[in-house]
Amino acid sequence: MAHSAAACFLPLLFTALFLLSSCRFGSGIPTRYDGFYYSGGGGDWKDVIVVDAFLDPLCPDSRDAWPPLKQVVRLYSPRLAVIVHPFPLPYHNNAFLACRALHIANKLNASSTFPLLELFFKYQERYYNGPTKSMSRSAIIDDMAKLANGAVGNFSEFLLGFEDWKTDMAARTSFKYGCTRGVAGAPFFFVNGFLLPDAGSALDLETWISIIGPLVKNQREQWLCRYGPSI
């Protein structure tokens, strides 16, 4: 009978899938570098300044850090590459869901990732611990899907994303990556791999310029030494 054959094969199938997945994640190393690429780069990666930004979509300091970061990108583009890593702080009860929502958006429509992040920043009070304390998890997910609808484009597909273990895994990977870098708050910024001081608070545009400006200038001088002024 097809039925009993399936009953025999299913455990085997699951074992195979389990082995497959445990092989893939056995080393704990994801197949791609974590995070959402915001801008910059192109050309030789050694000639760009790389900013890794660890942001919690439900954290007020991360929200306040975002506009100056965008401004500094505009100022130094394309010399500055910005990669955003969603990092859910455990004391923001809905932050992991919000980070997962970003991974879902990124999967469905990559160009909706940052519009959704900005929607979270704009309406983050809705998802604070107080206003959601008597809401069920599925009601919160539903609300996030409604919020995302404007940016991502397909409500039902977005909801299904919360059933997809891969989006859960992606959000975990982001979190774990932050842990391996010693991230203990948000926002945390790394420039060319080095942690900036004042981690956990928003940086204003002047501070960014004081950090990035000299690096760009030094890079330019090194470039001139190597290739001469004709470029």
Provide the binding-site residues for ligand NAG, judged by CB under 6 A.
109, 111-112, 115, 151, 153-154, 156-157
Measured from the CB atom, the residue of 145 and 202 that comes closer to ligand NAG is 145
Measured from the CB atom, the residue of 134 and 156 that comes closer to ligand NAG is 156
Q: Are 161 and 154 in contact (CB under 8 A)?
A: no
Residue nearest to ligand NAG as judged by C-beta position: 153
Q: Are 166 and 21 in contact (CB under 8 A)?
A: no
Q: Is 55 helix (H, G, I), strand (E, B) or coil?
A: strand
Measured from the CB atom, the residue of 77 and 154 that comes closer to ligand NAG is 154
- Give the burial string for 172-201 (b: 16+ CB within 10 Å, else e): bbbbebbeebebebbbbbbbeeeeeeebee
Please report, as a single letter, which amino acid is at residue 216: V
Nearest distance from residue 129's CB to ligand NAG, in Å?
Answer: 28
Measured from the CB atom, the residue of 106 and 174 that comes closer to ligand NAG is 106
Distance between CA atoms of residues 194 and 147, nearest Å: 35
Distance between CA atoms of residues 45 and 83, nearest Å: 13
Measured from the CB atom, the residue of 148 and 212 that comes closer to ligand NAG is 148
Nearest distance from residue 104's CB to ligand NAG, in Å?
Answer: 12
Nearest distance from residue 183's CB to ligand NAG, in Å?
Answer: 27
Measured from the CB atom, the residue of 118 and 143 that comes closer to ligand NAG is 118
- Give the burial string for 121-137 (b: 16+ CB within 10 Å, else e): beebebbeeeebeebee
Nearest distance from residue 149's CB to ligand NAG, in Å?
Answer: 10
- Number of other CB atoms surrounding residue 222 within 10 Å: 11
